[in-house]
Chain A
Amino acid sequence: MRVLLIEDDDTIADAVVVRFRREGVHVDHLTNCEGLVVADLEPDFNVVVLDLGLPGKDGLDFLREIRHLGAVVPVLVFTARYAVTARVGALNLGADDYLTKPFDMDELLARCRALARRHGNVTSAILHHRDLVLDTGACAGQAAGKTIRLKPKVFQLLQYFVENRGRVLTKPMIEQQLYGWEGDVESNTIEVFISQIRREIGADYIKTIRGLGYLMSVNET
């Protein structure tokens, strides 16, 4: 995965670059978006991580501009601005995800991976989480050395959980991920899939958050 980080604060940017590179993610860093054009973004970068409070051209203006010009590269916006008001503005302008500073580094990484996956512009990768190893290209995996046997849709759901570990996934989010906007889903399909996953890998990977959805913890225990 290749990420373009546009962040003017060196302390934050340095930490992100170090951590991402340690996780095998290639990061290019810019301190502003002056002179950047759509052609610079696609097809090289899988995700753009964009700070809103940039010197010179504002991050929101840049976002508006690239979306207007038809850029489809996923953009994760992060900002220290007041969350309630800035979030809606960024998402309305075409940001794909949003994080408020200070943020959790694991969460930032997980969200970038999820965005890259969602937009289908990352080739197959091996995902690791605790005893799980998933080969997304082959749709195969292992849990504690034992081969996982899951149907493609169910494997896709498991992959979605691993890529978004640490985030609550609500039922509408899962249905949209698996079936898109037009998908016709039985009311208990997701519950059945979760049950199948738990049978294959163990019941303690995915927690049910009653009334909300499901969570695959980041915790390593």
Chain B
Amino acid sequence: MRSIQNAVFRRILAATLSCSVILCASIFLLVAQEFRGELRSQSANAAELILTIAQTTPVHELQTIEQLPQSQNGAEHEYVLAVYTPSEVLYASWPNPPSDISLLDAPLLTIDGEIYQMEHHLDPTTYTRVVVGMLERETILASLEIVAFTVLAFLLVMAAMLWLIRGAIAGGLVHIHRLADEVTKRHHGSLQPIDLELPPELRSIANATSNFMVRLREAIQREREFVSNAAHELRTPLAGIIAQTEAIPKAGLPDEVADPLEKIRQSAKRSARQVNQLLDHAFSQSQVGIQSTPVEICKILTETLVDLTPAADHADVEIEFHCPQTLQSNLPAPLLQIVFQNLIVNALKFSNRPGRVRVTCELGLNKVEVTIEDNGPGLSADEFHKAQSRFGRSNDQPLASGHGLGLAIVGELCADMGIQIDQRSSSDLGGLSAKLLVPILKSSSSKTS
């Protein structure tokens, strides 16, 4: 779609060109015609004047008037003059006037190969005629000269006017450009009001947009508060159940009490994990408006793994972490943490026993490659993508051991943050290898210890 400036200018240009063509054609026809008419009128006036002189001049004196000298460059005279009666030519300004006097009465006369347009004037008492001839070629050329000059001047003025119009359009649209720049150059998560001096036509748009962003910010804030409150309301009773089961001394408990107690504890922990995932999902949806700052990817991975390693150790899963460089990204740290955590938790859960999970972070081609591998059964590409749809589950996974939101959250967040996610079989560990390509901010050559 064309820009407003170009569209408006094209319309003005088309209208101007159309009018210019019509005007130029009109100039060509009318001016030329008018010029030639004026020439004939002047010739007729000259003929009348000469006739008046001829009437008062004796014939023999007329015959003594010399002919016009030949012009020095050899060009023909533009005008010729003859005074004649029906019986004789009293005077002719060119040599060898026609012997047939009736030829002088014609509107056009050829003299030495040139055509002259003849204007006649008659004295009705003496039947003396004066004829003034104009070189037709010169008449046409002169009229064309005038037309061309007029059209050229008109076109130059038109061009200057169009240039001024274009400048005026650009000047009129400058506020729209400022508004567009203000909106397009701000951070994608910014919900700040638009603070610009704008003309009245744009002020209403800017105000409506700012009001919308204020309402959106308030809605997002309410959503965040809801997530926080929901977290509290859902987690507190689960925390109570788990705390009570852990407060009961295990020593000496009969099996018929210890087993159900442990099942209660495990069920409560599973519910807590599901609540955490639902909260992660709700939290990630309410992150519009958060401006991110550079974050170290290795630091986020380290913190996540430090939190998860004790549980991994308890579940007989060995964790290995490689991150030889400081690598930064401009993505929101909380969302990155949710992605990493869900993938690592999945790896811990689905790895075999004894389990192995390896997490590596290295610089790829303009991206940071984070790979999470396990020694579990793995997932095919189709199963992996299906698991990223909400509540999808691989057919081979036992229902009691998993829940379907983890990879769905990862899929949605990666799509939102522009992270490419890929799966394959781990060549070393044999299970799933999930690779994330994270947009990089910068990398340094420092080594982590």
Contact = CB atoms under 8 A, between A and B. Distances in A.
B449 A168 contact: no
Contacts of A213: 306
A104 to B, nearest CB: 7
Contact of A85 (B228, B232, B238, B242): B228
Contacts, number: 120
Given A19-B246, A105-B247, A219-B314, A80 B240 contact: no
Contacts of A112: none
Q: How large is the interface on A (under 10, 10 to 19, 20 to 34, 35 or more residues)?
A: 35 or more
Given A82-B279, A102-B243, A102-B272, A53 B232 contact: yes
B273 to A, nearest CB: 10
Interface stretch (A10-18, A124-132, A145-153, A197-205): A10-18
Contact of A15 (B247, B310, B319, B323): B247
Contacts of A171: 449
Contacts of A97: none
Contacts of A9: 236, 239-240
Q: Is the interface of B mostly helix, strand, loop or mixed?
A: helix
Given A171-B449, A218-B310, A212 B305 contact: yes
A99 to B, nearest CB: 10
B429 interface: no
A12 B231 CA distance: 16
B242 A102 contact: yes
B337 interface: yes
A14 B242 CA distance: 12
A26 interface: no
B338 interface: yes
Contacts of A170: 302, 306
A107 B310 contact: yes
A14 B246 CA distance: 11
B306 A212 contact: yes
Interface of A: 9, 11-12, 14-16, 18-19, 22, 53, 79-82, 84-86, 100-107, 166-168, 170-172, 187, 207, 209-213, 215, 217-219
14 contacts: A15-B243, A102-B268, A102-B269, A102-B272, A104-B246, A105-B247, A166-B310, A167-B306, A168-B310, A209-B320, A211-B321, A215-B310, A217-B314, A219-B314
